[in-house]
Amino acid sequence: MSDTVVEADVIIIGSGVAGAMAAYTLANKGVKVAILEAGPRIDRAAIVKKFTQSHKFDFSSGYPNEDWAPRPDWDPAEKPYFDHIGPAQANVEYLRNVGGTTWHWSGFAIRLHPEDMKIKSTYGVGIDWPFDYAELEPYYSEAEKEMGVSGDDKDPHPPRSKPFPLPPIPRSYSDKIIAPKLEKMGIKFSTPPAARNSRAYDGRSQCMGFGTCSPICPSGAQYAAVVHVNKSEKLGVRVLENTRVDRIITDASGKISEVHAKRPDGTDVTARGRIFLLAANGIESPRLLLMSANETYSKGLANSSGRVGRYFFEHPGLVCRMVMPAPVYPRGPEATMSSDNFRNGDFRRTRAGFTFSIHNFAHHFEATSDLLEKGAEPPSLDSAIRDRVVRMIDMSSHMEQLPSEKNGITLDWTRRDRAGQPVMKHYYSFSDYENAGFEAAKETFRHITKALDAELLSIQGPVTEHHPLGMAMMGKDKKTSVVDPHCRSHDHPNLFIVGTAVFPSCGMSRPTLTIAALAIRTAEEIARQLKKKRINRISTD
């Protein structure tokens, strides 16, 4: 096979957790797979070094942002990629490199709750998934095994058929100080499940306590999708890095015939397969569908519903920073304690629910900056920094948002990004539902600060969590959704889409575990259809 023409049973666009998990599942079933990834391969040690050389305090400045595979920069003013046109700004940021964005995720592997998937049926708001939690549950267990999820089976969780693969990560010293005080307020805590090794697992080390889970785990104890990229390659999957898909081509029957990609040197790559799996991330997947509009599909591919690029939602939240009255020495993995107290309840009919977690990281830089700005100087400066850092606590809320028709992206063909592709106009706003949720979270943080006898430094936000959801939504009705319950396009029988774009809702759970579970489920369906040679007609089951 040449480098300019790629052929496989399944062509996967994107090598993040969705693409990697799907490739691995398919390859294990003997399916011939090729992955096209826009960005380069990266090296963990090199990324760590780049972060120590960066002046930015973000999750992405250590990662490549190549001209041929540009991505949103943390500071949107620096390298315009989105044109934010709404009243709110979603700082959606992701990576384009082999392994995708799980290089810098927080590691939390949290299932959706059954009511999250039936939010319309349960609370009368939002959009239901086309199947229920029980359908997804076995795939959650499979994803947890693959990723190596640590969790406490004694904590309350959505129904589980299998125990966590790994024991829980122990709670931090600061958790132990804080929890008893807040439990007196009636707040209950649990250990958030995380794809972080509480013991050596799957060839990766036990967590070593670097405390930089985001933006990178220096030891590799935290799962990243590159694990399954590598495993897939060992099973024969071909991974073409630096191969940016610009266009998906349809034939006269409406099937996808091939995709066209470009390499950094300008050479063209054509990839042909029986099935195409779009796994390019919650923004790039709908963008590629819109960019691939043609005479027959003038609104973009898979877009007979008109919903591609629309109904965007996120996980907006608040960050509360406080100084405790006595040292709590925040150290350890990103967070080892969280609360679901404010997650579920009838209040979700009128306002967003939220969870919150307590972070094990003291913002030494901000502490130092703040003290310098206030005029602190040597010799007392060192002890002041130390005193502040050992008492500093961050809490963050993770809030649900409802999909909104007006939130989403459109393409501006008059402006191009560094790769020559149209700039996205991104409209983002909050509804009364989310605004009421923010107020509830603020009030809770104020109560917590008081209960801890802490000094409140700030409540910042809303800030989004870089979870772009909903812009190629799943559903049974082709008039109101982009893909069917098997994540297959209603319009193109051999096109499947995985990733956050297909989520109808996401509750307050970080989406990565659900992405992985859904990718495994979709890959199994693809394998089944390939076996039955049913791919030429629209599935009806």
Partner 1 sequence: MQKIGITRRKLMKTLLALGAGSVFFSTLSPFARDGGKVWAFLGDSTPSLETFAALSSLITLHDDLDADSIARMYKVFMDEPWAPEHIEGLHKKIIGALSDEKKRPSLKDPVWKFTDGESWFAGHLLTTWYLGIYYHEERPTQRILYENALQFRAIKGVMPIPYLENVGYGAWTSPPEIKK
List contacts with partner 1 (CB under 8 A): 48, 51-55, 170-173, 176, 206-212, 216, 218-219, 327, 329-333, 336, 360, 362, 364-365, 368-369, 372, 375, 377-383, 385-386, 389-390
* DSSP letter for each residue of 482-523: SB-TTSBBSS-TTEEE-SGGG-S--TTS-SHHHHHHHHHHHH
CB 74 within 8 A of CB 58: yes
**Rounded distance, CA 319 to CA 394, Å?**
7
Neighbours of 223 (CB within 10 A): 28
Can you list the positions of beta strands (E) in 48-184? 82-84
Minimum distance, C-beta of residue 7 to partner 1, in the bound complex (Å): 42
Nearer to partner 1, 118 or 181 (CB): 181
Environment class of 46 (CB within 10 Å of its CB; exposed 0-12, middle 13-18, buried 19+):
exposed
User: Taken in order 149, 151, 153, 158, is the CA torsion positive or negative?
Assistant: negative
Instruction: Give the burial string for 187-212 (b: 16+ CB within 10 Å, else e).
Output: bebbbbbbbbbbeebeebeebeebbb
Residue from 104, 363, 426, 467 carrying the catalytic annotation: 467
Minimum distance, C-beta of residue 49 to partner 1, in the bound complex (Å): 8
**Rounded distance, CA 470 to CA 12, Å?**
20
**Rounded distance, CA 165 to CA 153, Å?**
10
Active site residue 157: no
| Residue given tokens 């877009």 in the structure block | 303
CB 483 within 8 A of CB 502: yes
Minimum distance, C-beta of residue 222 to partner 1, in the bound complex (Å): 13
Nearer to partner 1, 259 or 328 (CB): 328
**Rounded distance, CA 264 to CA 69, Å?**
9
Nearer to partner 1, 6 or 221 (CB): 221
Tokens coding 297: 């599909």
Query: What is the 8-class DSSP label of residue 67?
Result: T
Minimum distance, C-beta of residue 52 to partner 1, in the bound complex (Å): 4
Nearer to partner 1, 238 or 391 (CB): 391
Contacts of 481 (CB under 8 A, 6+ apart): 130, 305, 307, 473, 474, 475, 490, 504
Nearer to partner 1, 209 or 345 (CB): 209
* DSSP letter for each residue of 364-428: HHHHHHHHHHTT--TTHHHHHHHHHHHHEEEEEEEE-----TT-EEEEEEEEE-TTSPEEEEEE-
CB 208 within 8 A of CB 217: no
Minimum distance, C-beta of residue 180 to partner 1, in the bound complex (Å): 15
**Rounded distance, CA 440 to CA 417, Å?**
39
Minimum distance, C-beta of residue 59 to partner 1, in the bound complex (Å): 13
Minimum distance, C-beta of residue 379 to partner 1, in the bound complex (Å): 4
Can you list the positions of beta strands (E) in 1-94? 5-13, 33-36, 82-84
Nearer to partner 1, 169 or 517 (CB): 169
Minimum distance, C-beta of residue 172 to partner 1, in the bound complex (Å): 5
Nearer to partner 1, 12 or 169 (CB): 169
Nearer to partner 1, 294 or 369 (CB): 369
Question: Among all residues, which ones are annotated catalytic?
Answer: 467
